[in-house]
Amino acid sequence: MRIARIRNAHKISARRLSLELGQSTEYINQIENGNALPSLEGLFNFCEYFNMTLGEFFEDRFNFPVEYSQIIAELNKMDLQEINVVHEMLKLINKRKNN
């Protein structure tokens, strides 16, 4: 499911991904449906294609690794005061969501 989530976050079809990685669409679908496992080389190619590390791929704390990576890239452009404002805003959003 993680491969499908990452692929969908990038708005790439299974067909396009299969062509880009030199794999069959059926193979990509089998992996996404849990009926097959990617080879180690295939996993490296997938991560390289999406510009992510294996660590980011396997980090199970992150449900949305692509989106988190994009957010972190934006946070890295901010100073500490701006980051603190964003942090306070996130806490408010989560507090409202939990009430």
Contact 51, 37 (CB under 8 A): no
DSSP 8-54: HHTT--HHHHHHHHT--HHHHHHHHTTSS---HHHHHHHHHHTT--H
- Tens of pLDDT, residue by residue over 45-93, are 999 999 888 888 888 777 777 788 889 899 999 999 999 999 999 999 9
Domain that holds residue 22: 2-98
Q: What is the CATH number of the domain that holds 66?
A: 1.10.260.40
Task: Give the pLDDT of residue 78.
Answer: 96
Q: Per the structure, how many domains does the chain have?
A: 1
Task: Give the pLDDT of residue 1.
Answer: 81
- Residue 87 CB coordination number (10 Å): 11
Predicted structure pTM score: 0.66
Task: Give the pLDDT of residue 90.
Answer: 92
* 90, two tokens: 């996130």
